[in-house]
Structure 1
């Protein structure tokens, strides 16, 4: 499996992770800043949360890690949390904005 195929599978997996307080997946919310697939099928996801004090932060990070590790072809997965730049509603996909009534 090549890096492009793995990246597609990573995006699909991230679309199955939801913040329990928001009915939109973390990918469409714009919480995923970067997906890197490197040699040896290693995946690194850089992401944020809607707020630094998010009460379910550990649960979301754990779920992302589990889903990445479960992808066929992924040798190793690393999830990095950042708050730079801070998340804003502008980072959401058009679909997410529509679903949440922001358009």
Structure 2
């Protein structure tokens, strides 16, 4: 197991434990961790769980969906920035097919 895998596993375990402490089944924590997918996203969820202490599973799932949505928006922004940078490069330097 790599360090990244160990870190992901530790965050997943912490998330499952926090959800169990709120009185929800560990399966909910497992699914939330799987959907979030990254330790950074799990940290955001943990912050929510520790500070808000939601009392229904719907609130937990709603926050998970909000975090996933934020991640999707960030990815789309980064893709658009990369495409824009490439477009600007083409405008400034051409396609590179012309001979000088």
TM-score, normalised by the number of residues in structure 2? 0.34
Higher helix share: 2
Relative contact order, higher structure (CA 8 A, sep 6+): 1
Q: Highest Rg: 1 or 2?
A: 2
